[in-house]
């Protein structure tokens, strides 16, 4: 797979520069003249995004989800919007992040994203765009990871093979029920051994998650099926875990929605230097801290912090 990195900022700064710059700004808050916006702006435009992503990277990884996001507000009349590819833990801590160069795709950027991250024994989940033979081979043979890859019609042969499996005869190995937002939802999970049924590299099992949703107000019923293939052996992932991995990856869209609605990510028009990349990383970090406050929603957590705006933010991030 091609490994072309996005050209770096002409003068990228490291993590120590970030802490020094922001530390100086924080110290100035207690003085008579609070720092203006120019100082943190300069730091965020020049900071190497990899240094900032390292702030939230856990020491131990078990599952990593790969997903892309277009920052719509960064587009101009002559330049396309910035598109980022990120690797996240199930609790949405940022593991790594790269910018996808214009004219290329997330498929090309995935190898760059995961370069340097120790993924031995880690399960990597990704959406259907990354369900590629080369990607599966790279994950298993070069990175020594396992994968759970969504299967859709962009890989027509694989999709037809998986959909045609004898799902009706397969036992239901996991059922979950949820009720909320005016809906009642039932999810069932099945898994089938793929031995001799596909040539997709290292695929051992196929997983099907079927969602049955009833509108409690109208009584209308709908259902959908999500398919995935995985390199995990039956002993490593039963149907319940396989289903959880598939559903967990789907939850990333809800996470993006929270960032757009509560933190204004899509509305942000920053486009210079490394500014877009670093602001995305900071928003992800902010959601991690806000999620630890025990509030019901992100807006509730933001309001709680805002009630004592000069002290609670420092308490939340452990700087006071």
Residue 76 is assigned to a structural domain of this protein: yes
- Give the range among 108-117, 167-176, 196-205, 278-287 with minimum mean pLDDT: 167-176
Alpha-carbon distance values, 230 to 64, 69, 203, 213 (Å): 14, 24, 5, 26
How many CB atoms are closer than 10 A to CB 220? 10
**Which CB contacts under 8 angstroms, 24+ apart, belong to 17-26?**
17/43, 17/46, 17/47, 18/43, 18/47, 18/51, 18/52, 26/314, 26/319
Residue 92 is assigned to a structural domain of this protein: yes
**Residue 126 forms beta bridges with which residues?**
66, 149
Tell me the pLDDT band of 222, cut-offs 50, 70 and 90: very high
On the question of pLDDT at 3 being above 80, the answer is no
Largest Cα–Cα separation, the chain: 74
Residue 42 is assigned to a structural domain of this protein: no
Q: Where are the beta strands (DSSP E) in 194-301?
A: 205-215, 221-230
How many CB atoms are closer than 10 A to CB 75? 14
Residue 29 is assigned to a structural domain of this protein: no
pLDDT value of residue 10:
40
On the question of pLDDT at 195 being above 90, the answer is no
Which tokens hold the place of 90?
């199930």
Residue 212 is assigned to a structural domain of this protein: yes
Residue 22 is assigned to a structural domain of this protein: no
pLDDT value of residue 11:
44
Q: What is the pLDDT of residues 123-158, one digit of tens each?
A: 999 999 999 999 999 999 999 999 999 999 999 999
Higher pLDDT, 276 or 59: 276
Which tokens hold the place of 264?
């204004």
Cα angle 148-150-156, degrees, rounded to a multiple of 5: 130
pTM: 0.83
Q: What is the pLDDT of residues 107-123, one digit of tens each?
A: 999 999 999 899 999 99
CATH of the domain at 264: 3.90.350
Crossing angle of helices 239-250 and 252-263, in 10° steps, is: 30
Residue 213 is assigned to a structural domain of this protein: yes
Place of tokens 């890989």: 155
**Mean of the per-residue pLDDT values of the chain:** 85
On the question of pLDDT at 30 being above 50, the answer is no
Domain range for 119 is: 55-316
Count of the separate structural domains present in the chain: 1
Backbone dihedral angles phi then psi of residue 210, each to the nearest 5 degrees: -105, 125
Residue 173 is assigned to a structural domain of this protein: yes
- Give the range among 41-45, 64-68, 247-251 with minimum mean pLDDT: 247-251
């Amino acid at each position: 797979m091609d490994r072309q990195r996005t050209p770096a900022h002409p003068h990228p700064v490291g993590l120590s520069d970030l802490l020094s710059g922001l530390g100086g700004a924080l110290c100035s808050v207690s003085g008579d003249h609070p720092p203006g916006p120019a100082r943190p702006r300069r730091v965020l435009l020049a900071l190497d995004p990899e240094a900032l992503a390292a702030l939230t990277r856990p020491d131990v990884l078990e599952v990593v989800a790969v997903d892309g996001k277009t920052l719509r507000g960064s587009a101009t009349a002559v330049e396309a919007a910035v598109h980022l590819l990120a690797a996240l833990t199930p609790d949405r801590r940022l593991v790594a992040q790269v910018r996808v160069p214009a004219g290329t795709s997330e498929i090309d950027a995935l190898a760059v994203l995961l370069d340097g991250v120790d993924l031995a024994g880690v399960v990597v989940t990704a959406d259907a765009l990354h369900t590629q033979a080369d990607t599966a081979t790279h994950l298993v043979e070069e990175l020594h990871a396992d994968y759970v890859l969504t299967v859709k019609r962009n890989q027509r042969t694989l999709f037809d093979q998986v959909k045609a499996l004898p799902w009706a005869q397969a036992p239901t190995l996991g059922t979950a029920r949820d009720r909320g937002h005016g809906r009642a939802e039932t999810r069932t999970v099945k898994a089938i051994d793929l031995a001799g049924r596909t040539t997709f590299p290292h695929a051992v099992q196929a997983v099907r998650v079927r969602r049955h949703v009833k509108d409690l107000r109208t009584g209308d019923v709908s259902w959908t099926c999500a398919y995935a293939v995985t390199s995990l052996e039956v002993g490593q992932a039963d149907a319940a875990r396989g289903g959880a991995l598939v559903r967990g990856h789907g939850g990333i869209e809800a996470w993006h929605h929270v960032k757009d609605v509560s933190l204004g990510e899509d509305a942000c028009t920053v486009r210079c230097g490394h500014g877009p990349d670093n602001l995305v990383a900071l928003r992800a970090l902010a959601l991690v801290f806000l999620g630890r406050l025990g509030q019901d929603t992100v807006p509730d957590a933001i309001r709680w912090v805002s009630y004592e705006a000069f002290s609670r933010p420092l308490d939340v991030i452990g700087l006071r």
